[in-house]
Amino acid sequence: MSSSIMAFLASLSLAISGVPRFEPAPCPSTVEAGEGIDCGFLVVPENRSKAESRSIRLPVMRLRSRAERPAKDPLLFMPGGPGVSSVARLRSGKKNLLLDERDLIVLEQRGVKMAQPALECPEINTLKGEMAAGRLRGASAQNALTKAAGRCRATLTASGVDLDGYTTTATADDIEDLRKVLGYETWNLQGLSYSTRLMLTVLRRHPAGVRSVILDSVLPPEVNFDEVAAMNLLRSLDLVFDGCAIDRECSAAHPDLRKRFAQLVATAERKPLPLVLKESATEGRPVEVRGAQVVEALYNALHDPERIPLLPRIISRAAAGDYSELTPLVEDSLGPSTMSWGLRLSVWCSEEIPFEDPKRIAAQRSPALGLGGVDEGTASMETCRVWNVAPVPAEENTPVKSDVPTLIFAGEFDPDTPPDWGRQLLESMSQARYVELRGYSHGASFNRCGGQVTMAFLRDPKGPLPLDCVLQLRGADFGKSAAAP
């Protein structure tokens, strides 16, 4: 049977079953009193290419505007991942300036924590915690993750889950269905990290319903993330090393910072560092702080604009045997993963791994990089073979072309999605504008300055942007590292 006939039968089946549809329902979490928040479920097919696919239910929260006459086109926001919940902790919109002018809508991605079904893999979450604590590493860690993925896959499929239905294109179609069932002619989209790829996919598939797009910390579909995951981290660390070197006070207090970092990681690799960690962070279990744990702690700190200027001092003191400032960073890095790993693997193993080079992925864990063998990749080739989902068409690994007004944010120190990935969208998106915030990192727009630019863009997506606050940013003041803690 031809694919066109199959698609027709699938669409006919959906029309008969009343899917897609919106069902009002209580909010996923108890919202604060007095909040104007409506909740419900978007009901859609699990596998959009199969006529007999069952329905799944995706939580939706609509935060009503405080304005007497709200703008007719709301903003839909979705966070990163894939595998991060949009709605699990959303209880209030009181501090959200967006609601002064328009509604905000939040959709739970198919397969994530509050969706029905949720593609949870608790054993993988636990193993990620073991790896974070240094109790599991190297080949043993990869083997354990692969075996856990196989068991999780068996559990999910036995419960009736069709793992091939959980892709970025399917979620993009969910977004379009939500717009239609809520009755909006057009709306605005905002995506963070992985959800920038999701919003770009909406532009590829459903541009007519999109008034404007805001992309923060861009993950374009054409990049091969796992091939450069460690190099992205090294880029950010080099900014810290070089930033300290050209700052008179920082360089005097912490000379040869790059060398000290290498010494610190090498020392931890030879023998776990003797950090005294809080029992609340370790849950009373031993933690081996080796090179990977040191690097992961610094990686997490690179997401915090307040901590970035202090990294030279933290690294320098730790290299000298004073771990007082490194210790809380390590503590913050401990604990199991909170991702919905079933969804995460379904997306990654169908959309990233099929287009990546195994040798380049393996090189990102090489000891030669001097990162203690830390693995910033998302999934291994071995794990994806076990997960066994169908690869997406090659088109999904190509740049998106669009003339929809788009605002792109990037953070200078972002260790996950480097600014270049945002800039490269300008080549294929004729109405895109790029804003890089010095001193900031992943999620660069979530501050006062970024908020001002965002609000102005939403009022007039083709109008001038108030960039004075962006131009006034000094960036990271590494002179702070010269002062005593």
Q: What is the pLDDT along the chain (485 residues), one digit of tens a residue?
A: 333 334 433 443 444 458 999 999 999 988 888 889 999 999 999 999 999 999 999 999 999 999 999 999 999 999 999 999 999 999 999 989 999 999 999 999 999 999 999 999 999 999 999 999 999 998 999 999 999 999 999 999 999 999 999 999 999 999 999 999 999 999 999 999 999 999 999 999 999 999 999 999 999 999 999 999 999 999 999 999 999 999 999 999 999 999 999 999 999 999 999 999 999 999 999 999 999 999 999 999 999 999 999 999 999 999 999 999 999 999 999 999 999 999 999 999 999 999 999 999 999 988 889 999 898 999 999 999 999 999 999 999 999 999 999 999 999 999 999 999 999 999 999 999 999 999 999 999 999 999 999 999 999 999 999 999 999 999 999 999 999 88
> Is the peptide bond preceding residue 26 cis, with omega within 30 degrees of 0?
no
> Is the peptide bond preceding residue 28 cis, with omega within 30 degrees of 0?
no
How far is it, in rounded angstroms, from Cα 249 to Cα 155?
57
Residues 186, 454, 211: CA angle, nearest 5 degrees: 15
Locus of tokens 């079904």: 117
- Under DSSP, the state recorded for 406 is E
At 155 the three-state DSSP class reads helix
**Residue 217 CB coordination number (10 Å):** 29
Which of 80, 221, 109 lies closest to 173, judged by CA?
109
Which helix (DSSP H) or strand (DSSP E) does residue 77 occupy?
A: strand 75-78
How far is it, in rounded angstroms, from Cα 139 to Cα 152?
20
> Among the residues of 47-190, which ranges form H helices?
122-132, 138-158, 168-182
**Residue 26 CB coordination number (10 Å):** 10
How far is it, in rounded angstroms, from Cα 131 to Cα 164?
28
Specify the pLDDT at position 13: 43
Which of 266, 276, 270 lies closest to 328, judged by CA?
276
213: left (phi over 0), alpha (psi -120 to 50) or beta: beta
Judge contact between 397 and 348, C-beta under 8 A. no
Specify the pLDDT at position 429: 98
Judge contact between 49 and 25, C-beta under 8 A. no
> Among the residues of 302-380, which ranges form H helices?
311-319, 326-332, 341-351, 358-363
**DSSP states along 192-224:** ETHHHHHHHHHHHH-GGGEEEEEEES---TTS-
Judge contact between 200 and 175, C-beta under 8 A. no
Locus of tokens 């890089």: 436
**Residue 364 CB coordination number (10 Å):** 23
At 146 the three-state DSSP class reads helix
What's the pTM value of the predicted model, to 2 decimals? 0.94
CA–chain centroid gap for 326, Å, is 25
